[in-house]
């Protein structure tokens, strides 16, 4: 009998759970297929299945789902509501399942994370494995292995990111969600351009999230979007060690537009706010980046 193949789209939630899911399914001996880096074809597919009010990142996710729809037995789609009362996620993280289920004709393996209703991460992984015929004991062991490996990888990335703060180069903190800054079409052209200008890039998501979450209260005690709090808290953590900040978001992200504007008004450091849409031209963005770096270096 052929092994079951599960599909993991390389968009939004992949950048939070991609490593854990890969380690988890590999440990269980289940095939996993991941969509490729974002390309123009994937973007066009996503736009075809989306509406104008969806953010660019969500359109890209739908494009990745479209790529996988005929290449796997099941698609992995989470419902991530919250990690506690003060750690909510964007509504997109809760709506992925309903969107994908109603748009595409594909079998879905879903898992729920909702700490307010006692649906924890570990329960979510066990629930997901059970739907694939894996018992609790085996899935719990696979979860622990996946968690340990992914946390070890994150610790290395945090150490590398912190080490960059000792660089003599111009240091810019990029405040962006991982699904934007590490996407080939949204963030990669920007980081590549900055590296060519000999800028040291510090990534806001590559710090201890428990620390940065708490530090976000320095800018607002009313914020409740977990992932926004974690990246803006990094500003307070490194503000004395950087030369400027770039805010990067995908149009028209509601949480980013509110949080970034709120924080920018409270900062003394030079800032640049970039909002990316599905326009292929990066000429204007490169000009703004070049001017921003020049201004900082002249100071």
pLDDT confidence band for 1 (50 / 70 / 90) = very low
**Structure-block tokens of residue 261:** 């504007």
- pLDDT for the residue numbered 281: 66
pLDDT digits (tens, 9 = 90+) for 140-193: 999 999 999 999 999 999 999 999 999 999 999 999 999 999 999 999 999 999
Comparing C-alpha atoms, which of 18, 12, 16, 14 is closest to residue 92?
12
Whether the predicted pLDDT of 37 surpasses 50: yes
Helices and strands per DSSP (H, E), number in the chain? 12, 8
The 10s digit of each residue's pLDDT in 86-129 is 999 999 999 999 999 999 999 999 999 999 999 999 999 999 99
For 210-247, write each residue's pLDDT tens digit.
999 999 999 999 898 999 999 999 999 999 999 999 99
In this structure, are residues 31 and 21 in contact, taking their beta carbons and an 8 Å threshold? Answer: no
Strand order in the sheet with 31-34: 31-34, 5-8, 74-82, 108-114
For residue 180, give the nearest of 53, 259, 274 by alpha carbon.
274
pLDDT beyond 80 at 70: yes
In the chain, residues under CATH classification 3.40.50 are 5-147, 158-298
Residue identified by tokens 């509501």 is 81
Residue given tokens 């770096």 in the structure block: 293
Is residue 62 within 8 A of residue 69, CB to CB? The reply is no
Q: Within a 10 A sphere around the Cβ of 190, how many other Cβ atoms?
A: 22
Which token pair is 257?
A: 């537009």
Say if CB 81 and CB 94 are below 8 A apart: yes
Closest by CA to 121, choosing from 112, 131, 130, is 112
Q: Let me know: does 43 contact 278? Beta carbons within 8 Å.
A: yes
Gap between the Cα atoms of 9 and 50, Å rounded: 16
Strand segments, DSSP code E, in the chain are 5-8, 31-34, 74-82, 108-114, 170-175, 199-203, 244-250, 271-276
Average pLDDT, the chain: 94
Separation of alpha carbons 134 and 197, rounded Å? 50
pTM of the model: 0.94
Does domain 158-298 fall into CATH 3.40.50?
Answer: yes
d(CA 128, CA 134): 9
- Rg of the chain over Cα atoms, rounded to whole angstroms, equals 20
Considering the segment(s) 5-147 as one domain, its CATH architecture is 3-Layer(aba) Sandwich (3.40)
Closest to 14 measured CA to CA, from 57, 44, 55: 57
């Amino acid at each position: 009998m052929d092994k079951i193949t599960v599909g993991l789209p390389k968009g939004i939630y992949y950048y939070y759970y991609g490593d854990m899911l890969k380690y988890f399914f590999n440990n269980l001996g289940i095939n996993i297929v991941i969509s490729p880096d974002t390309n123009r074809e994937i973007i066009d597919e996503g736009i075809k299945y989306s509406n104008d009010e969806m953010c660019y990142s969500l359109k890209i996710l739908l494009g990745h789902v479209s790529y996988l729809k005929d290449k796997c037995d099941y698609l992995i789609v989470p419902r991530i509501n919250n990690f506690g009362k003060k750690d909510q996620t964007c509504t997109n993280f809760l709506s992925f399942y309903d969107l994908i289920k109603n748009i595409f004709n594909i079998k879905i393996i879903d898992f729920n994370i909702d700490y307010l209703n006692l649906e924890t991460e570990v329960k979510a992984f066990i629930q997901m494995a059970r739907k694939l015929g894996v018992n609790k004991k085996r899935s719990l062991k696979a979860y622990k292995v996946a968690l340990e490996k992914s946390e070890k990888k994150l610790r290395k990335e945090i150490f590398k990111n912190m080490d960059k703060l000792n660089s003599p180069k111009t240091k810019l903190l990029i405040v962006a969600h991982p699904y934007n800054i590490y996407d080939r079409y949204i963030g990669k052209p920007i980081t590549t351009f900055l590296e060519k200008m000999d800028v040291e890039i510090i990534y806001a998501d590559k710090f201890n999230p428990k620390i940065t979450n708490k530090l976000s209260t320095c800018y607002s005690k009313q914020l409740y979007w977990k992932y926004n709090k974690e990246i803006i808290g990094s500003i307070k953590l490194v503000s004395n060690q950087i030369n400027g900040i770039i805010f990067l978001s995908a149009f028209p992200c509601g949480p980013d537009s509110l949080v970034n504007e709120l924080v920018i008004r409270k900062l003394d450091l030079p800032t640049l706010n970039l909002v990316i849409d599905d326009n292929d031209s990066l000429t204007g963005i490169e000009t703004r980046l070049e001017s921003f770096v020049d201004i900082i270096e002249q100071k």
